[in-house]
Structure 1
Amino acid sequence: MPHTLWRTASRAVAALGAVVLGAGALSAAAGPSSAAPAGEKVIVSEDFSGSALPEGWRVVDGTWKVQDGRLVGTATSGNNKITFGRHLDDFRFEATVRFEKVAEPTRWEAFGLDVPADGARPWWIATMRSGSTASNGLEFAQMTTAGSWNVTDTAAAPYAAGTGRDIKVSIEVHGNQARWFFDGQQMMRTTSLVRSADGVQALFVNGSTVSFDDVKITELPGNGYLRPAGSPVTVIAHRGASSAAPENTLVAQEIGRRAGADFIENDVQPSKDGVPFVLHDGTVDRTTDGTGSIRNLTSAQLKALDAGSWFSPHYTGVRMPTLAEQLADLRTRGGDLLLEIKGAHTRDQVAKIVQVIREQNMTKRVFVQSFEVEALKYTYELAPELPLGLLRSSLDADPVAIAKELHLTAYNPSSGPLLARPGVVADLHNAGVAVMPWTVDSAATWKSLDALGVDGIITNRPAELAGWNNAMLHGARPKPTVDIASPANGTTLDRAQRPVVGVAAANADNVQVKLDGAPVAPGKPLDLTGLSVGEHTLRVKATSPKGTAVATSTFTVAATPAGLGHLIITSGADQGAVSALTSKLAAGRYDQVAQYATAQSGKHIPARYATVIAADALALRSQQS
């Protein structure tokens, strides 16, 4: 799909500004141009130099007139509107807006993004209040068929539109996605638009008199994954919010969505009976309570597995979703999917994936990527309408050539090689190909990649990246925040469990996690085998130049027969000692377990484990009394 030197130059200027000026630079980046570069087509362009309404503009309700070179709409009550244009899937809607008079700061104007020509419900709008600095000063919203509001996204503008002030507004729409620009700066993005087959554009006024100038509708190329100037990088939640919830589950997907992710990234593989399931590994061993290759297990066997308790007891009972279930959740609750076809697939297996995507009516909201070139070729043959991305651990000698050969919409390499060859980004952009590197969790690396002009970043920390984006856009970082998702405060665990340290931090340059004062790694399982019975405290400190945020979670390690058995088996004791200990444990002779562990400490049982085994056995003995 064509891209242009204009956008590349705009991104280069924004990138240079980010390097030279730091976090505040992006606030000065130019928004989408008023020109129409190659591949873009101007559909409507009105400067209202005449004295009458332009031909084809339809007043639905309210008072609309051309006056002093501007279109003026007045509404004393209700949502008064004028419709025009034609149905477009991919377009930019821009105009200069000025509130002339308002009943109160909550009154608004709006750009109709998908509105029946006769103004009937339902319709979707991008709204701006005159008091645009309110938390809902800017909105994406739907008026439903029933006449109720469905507000999907809100944001505050950096300053008030007020009255008598010209504001350049631009909304860039690609299918169900849209970006909201306020004086050239992106304020928010949505993936929740529900598009009709024939809706057109419109202008709205509510409780106000508003004038509009230089109204332009530009049809855009279909690759909405290229980042417009003034926009932050697209936030792609790797396996869902995998740092805060069990990966590749609907729970992780929901947390990623609430964190502000633009895309959920997940993996798909077939079950033994050919049902596409969401799973990263070739086996279910790591992320469920089962064992074996996913391709050797039936869909019924896979659905019976617990896919949450490995991460934390809080998620016990979470199931592995099918691709159909994942897409249904995204369709009904919002969000788009970056779907990795994991491992080798036959043409029939890829055809099944495509079938599910089409059955769920999600072809416009799924982006397919893979390391497997054959899987991408099959996808293109079967569903040329689906955008494709090639995953790479290193860079090809000529990424542009392979992008052309495979009909790629995006080229998605590991971040390290990309930073080593930064010119690749501009080369790919010139060819109309987006760049979305993986998997990046460092704010320092986000900054470097943003300066290169990459279009999206795949991360395990979507909440943090969304917060970082917000700070970069607004030029002023908010204070850091932090929360501990796992182990949850008040949880009781036994030694057989290995809860993952789940931390969600935003606007932080540095995150330190300590367990009882000793450093531990976020996103990694906790080893409970060496902890004493009783309470333990996990403490997280997130810092930035704006301050420090701290969160704590206190959990209890309990002595249980199952936990003691796990400890004995994994202690590294020799086989004779393991047999002796487990036989005494099975008979409930806890005092003998303690005596034997103490006697064999440093001999047949590693001393570190012998002490804990003895302590747990004595605790269980006291529970018998």
Structure 2
Amino acid sequence: MKPITRRPRAVLAVLAASTTFVALTTAPTALAEPLAADSGAVQAVQAAQAEPAAGLTESFDGPDLPPGWKPVEGAWKVQNGRLVGTSVTAGQQSRITFGTPLIDYRIESRVRFESALDGARWVAFGLDLAPSGAVPWSIATLRNGSTATNGLEFAQRTTSNTWNVTDTAAAPIQVGVGMEVTVAVEVRGSRATWYVDGRESLRTSMVNRTAGGAQAFLVNGATVSFDDLKVTPLGKESFIRKPGTPLRVWAHRGGSSASPENTAASDEVARRARAEWIENDVQPTKDDVPVILHDDTVDRTTDGTGAVRSLTAAQVGALDAGSWFAPAFAGQRVPTLASQLDGLKTRGGNLLLEVKGAHTRDSVARIVSEVRSRGMSSRVFVQSFEPQHLRWMHELAPELPLGLLRSTLDPDPVAIAKDLELSAYNPSDAALSARPGAIAELHAAGVAVNVWTVDDAARWDALEKAGVDGVITNRPAELAGWNAAFLQRAKPKVLTPAADAKVDRAQALRIAVSDASAQITLDGNPVENGAPVDTTTLTAGRHEIRVGDTVSAFEIVATPTGLASLILTSGASQAAVSTMTTLLGQRQYAVLATYASTPAAAGLSAVRRQQIVAEARALR
């Protein structure tokens, strides 16, 4: 990609003068606990996955906790076909561990707050916990007050037993006590994505991974029940954007609009901007050490002169790579690939590595060696303008995803993508604009499209609408903010219950929409925004919420919890309630249906009797 020409700006000099960036002129200092496992940790997990990884499915149908589940703190039990976890105070981090170490996986469950001390209390998926439950942890949290600005979080419990919250967002729906919601997190190495009710809601690139870390549930200041847990190992990643999700952020040479490109400082800017991938260029020195530099010479971005390949690594490493951008960046160095990978490993982030200029097979092999020796294969994506570089890379490291850079489109982009076994085809914005139909052709072949180098919000909007998967940009913070606004725009009119939600009789149902002044109907009858709806007055099956032209449906379904609520609030005689709850606990649904239909079940109204019989029969 073309060299970036810009003049240092006073405002950037002021920003750069902060102690954060001054500190980066020397060895990086830790902002928090390490954000990624060391090479031994990752290699241990990779070894554990040498055989096909096993997933986990659990519906909690037995009377006891499943084998291998380890309660660490708080109260955990199986009750009425659900796992129930309780934390009695805001300071108690109740947790239960399960599963096996996995690098790339999806964890999903139906979750319901049964009670909570307040809206700030939370439930979490443990993404990487020792089976003993000891720190450090990496977790994804959902608050009872889910639409607060921190309703969703990715967070770490550090080795010093303190919190490091890395990412926050509001959930797309209000959860609250009594509402069941399906939540999921997809984890790929140090990256993870939160899904609430099937909608992407938050991303992170800051998951701390450890050797032997498994999965867990955590509860804080609440009682939460879980059902239908699925932990599924993920195969090779597709970089094609899912419908309704934002553009992937690739930070061009780091945060290069606010710091000197391809340096530790620009990496830090990109990391804090929440770029999923940090793009850097790599080429060898005279003594074959791979260094992070874009140009053929060191003239533009350092205080030295000469071709990179005519200088030794020591000579390149002694140059000032920051003063050209702003005085406050004086002392920034040209990183070696090794130091770049070490920085990402300890501070967080993933590397889009462009193999720049002419390389031999041996120099490509040296790059592979640097990546593998640090256990960073799951966090590196390689791209190049040169097909031969990518052929060597695939031969030497078939696990690494590959992207082909193009200034003009190939006559047949799909053919070359298949030939090179690409994960992505990465054209310039101008090249793609001349032939936007190539996006659909590449997607049909399973190949993502990432466009370079685009810094304008109007173009981001056009590219998102065209179906592009990601943008390589000098302005990662701005694109991340644009993405946040994109997710806000994509929020549904009907916030709760979610579209196609399954609601049982025990849930406290409220109809809530995003427009406070909207006219709302439930099955054609007007309802007040946010008003509670008694689920016992609704028939089993489908119900429609209408807000203007928007229609959202949910379903009243039979569950053991819902049936228990019908019985306990039925007004039946004490003897009848005792008999029915005993039969329910024993899962004798057919006997319960028969009993409830007889006069022995004294005190039941005709409507409630009919509901109990119908739901018991549905559960048979």
TM range (shorter): 0.5 to 0.7
Q: Is the 8 A contact 1:368 1:388 kept in 2?
A: yes
Match of residue 370 from structure 2:
356
Match of residue 455 from structure 2:
441
Q: C-alpha displacement at 1:424, in angstroms? A: 2.8
Give 1:514-529 correspondences, 5 Å limit: none
Q: 2:192 is matched with which residue: 166, 174, 178?
A: 178
Q: 1:470 is matched with which residue: 455, 479, 484?
A: 484
Q: Is the 8 A contact 1:115 1:200 kept in 2?
A: yes
Match of residue 480 from structure 1:
none
- TM-score, with normalisation over the residues of structure 2? 0.66
Cα deviation per residue 1:47-80 (whole Å; 9 max; x = unaligned)?
4455554455443443333334432211214222
Q: Is the 8 A contact 2:341 2:376 kept in 1?
A: yes
Residues 340, 132 of structure 1: alpha-carbon distance in 2 compared, 3 angstrom cutoff:
same
Match of residue 298 from structure 1:
312
Q: 1:454 is matched with which residue: 468, 482, 496?
A: 468
Q: 2:84 is matched with which residue: 72, 81, 91?
A: 72
Residues 144, 244 of structure 1: alpha-carbon distance in 2 compared, 3 angstrom cutoff:
closer
Give 1:79-90 correspondences, 5 Å limit: 79-90=93-104
Match of residue 246 from structure 1:
260
Paired AA for residue 326 in structure 2:
S
Q: Is the 8 A contact 2:77 2:83 kept in 1?
A: yes
- C-alpha separation between the residues in 2 aligned to 1:184 and 1:468? 21
Cα deviation per residue 1:213-236 (whole Å; 9 max; x = unaligned)?
332222222215333344211111
Q: Is the 8 A contact 1:41 1:220 kept in 2?
A: no
Cα deviation per residue 1:326-379 (whole Å; 9 max; x = unaligned)?
222211111111010101101111122122222333222111110011111221
Q: 1:405 is matched with which residue: 401, 404, 419?
A: 419
Q: CA RMSD in A?
A: 2.4
Match of residue 504 from structure 2:
none
Paired AA for residue 74 in structure 1:
T
Match of residue 63 from structure 1:
75
Match of residue 137 from structure 2:
123
Q: Is the 8 A contact 1:174 1:224 kept in 2?
A: no
Q: Is the 8 A contact 2:247 2:464 kept in 1?
A: yes
- C-alpha separation between the residues in 2 aligned to 1:430 and 1:118? 45
Give 1:525-604 correspondences, 5 Å limit: none
Q: C-alpha displacement at 1:137, in angstroms? A: 2.7
Matched, 1:334 2:354: no
Matched, 1:188 2:202: yes
Match of residue 235 from structure 2:
221
- C-alpha separation between the residues in 2 aligned to 1:346 and 1:279? 17
Q: C-alpha displacement at 1:407, in angstroms? A: 2.2
Match of residue 112 from structure 1:
126
Match of residue 280 from structure 1:
294
Residues 42, 326 of structure 1: alpha-carbon distance in 2 compared, 3 angstrom cutoff:
closer
Q: Is the 8 A contact 2:238 2:446 kept in 1?
A: no
Q: 1:386 is matched with which residue: 381, 392, 400?
A: 400
Matched, 1:260 2:260: no
Q: Is the 8 A contact 1:81 1:205 kept in 2?
A: yes
Paired AA for residue 65 in structure 1:
K
Match of residue 217 from structure 2:
203
- C-alpha separation between the residues in 2 aligned to 1:87 and 1:181? 21
Residues 422, 48 of structure 1: alpha-carbon distance in 2 compared, 3 angstrom cutoff:
farther
State the secondary structure of the residue aligned to 1:377: helix
Paired AA for residue 175 in structure 2:
A
Q: 1:99 is matched with which residue: 113, 127, 145?
A: 113
The sequence identity of aligned pairs, in percent, is 60
- C-alpha separation between the residues in 2 aligned to 1:233 and 1:41? 30
Paired AA for residue 74 in structure 2:
G
Q: C-alpha displacement at 1:405, in angstroms? A: 1.8
Paired AA for residue 258 in structure 1:
R
Paired AA for residue 57 in structure 2:
S
Paired AA for residue 78 in structure 2:
V
- C-alpha separation between the residues in 2 aligned to 1:415 and 1:319? 31
Match of residue 56 from structure 2:
44
- C-alpha separation between the residues in 2 aligned to 1:56 and 1:217? 15
State the secondary structure of the residue aligned to 1:418: helix
Match of residue 436 from structure 2:
422
- C-alpha separation between the residues in 2 aligned to 1:427 and 1:223? 19
Cα deviation per residue 1:277-313 (whole Å; 9 max; x = unaligned)?
1111111122222221111112222122222222223
Q: Is the 8 A contact 1:111 1:203 kept in 2?
A: yes
Match of residue 15 from structure 2:
none
State the secondary structure of the residue aligned to 1:436: strand
Match of residue 165 from structure 1:
179
Q: Which moved more, 1:380-389 or 1:310-319?
A: 310-319
Q: Is the 8 A contact 1:42 1:216 kept in 2?
A: no
Q: Is the 8 A contact 2:190 2:349 kept in 1?
A: no
Q: C-alpha displacement at 1:94, in angstroms? A: 1.5
Match of residue 390 from structure 2:
376
Paired AA for residue 158 in structure 2:
T
State the secondary structure of the residue aligned to 1:126: strand
Q: C-alpha displacement at 1:315, in angstroms? A: 2.3
Give 1:507-518 correspondences, 5 Å limit: none
Q: Which moved more, 1:433-442 or 1:74-83?
A: 74-83
State the secondary structure of the residue aligned to 2:341: helix
State the secondary structure of the residue aligned to 1:364: helix
Match of residue 606 from structure 2:
none
Residues 230, 58 of structure 1: alpha-carbon distance in 2 compared, 3 angstrom cutoff:
farther
* Structure 1: 5+ residue stretches without partners: 1-39, 478-625
Cα deviation per residue 1:522-562 (whole Å; 9 max; x = unaligned)?
xxxxxxxxxxxxxxxxxxxxxxxxxxxxxxxxxxxxxxxxx
Paired AA for residue 344 in structure 2:
L
Q: 1:316 is matched with which residue: 314, 321, 330?
A: 330
Cα deviation per residue 1:124-150 (whole Å; 9 max; x = unaligned)?
211112123344332222233443333
Residues 97, 230 of structure 1: alpha-carbon distance in 2 compared, 3 angstrom cutoff:
farther
Q: Is the 8 A contact 1:305 1:319 kept in 2?
A: yes
- C-alpha separation between the residues in 2 aligned to 1:334 and 1:224? 22
- C-alpha separation between the residues in 1 aligned to 2:440 and 2:122? 40
Number of residue equivalences: 438
- C-alpha separation between the residues in 1 aligned to 2:324 and 2:294? 15
Give 1:498-513 correspondences, 5 Å limit: none
- C-alpha separation between the residues in 2 aligned to 1:88 and 1:397? 41
Q: Is the 8 A contact 1:191 1:336 kept in 2?
A: yes
- C-alpha separation between the residues in 1 aligned to 2:374 and 2:211? 17
Q: Is the 8 A contact 2:205 2:348 kept in 1?
A: yes
Residues 307, 146 of structure 1: alpha-carbon distance in 2 compared, 3 angstrom cutoff:
closer
Cα deviation per residue 1:434-471 (whole Å; 9 max; x = unaligned)?
22111111212211221233222101111111111000
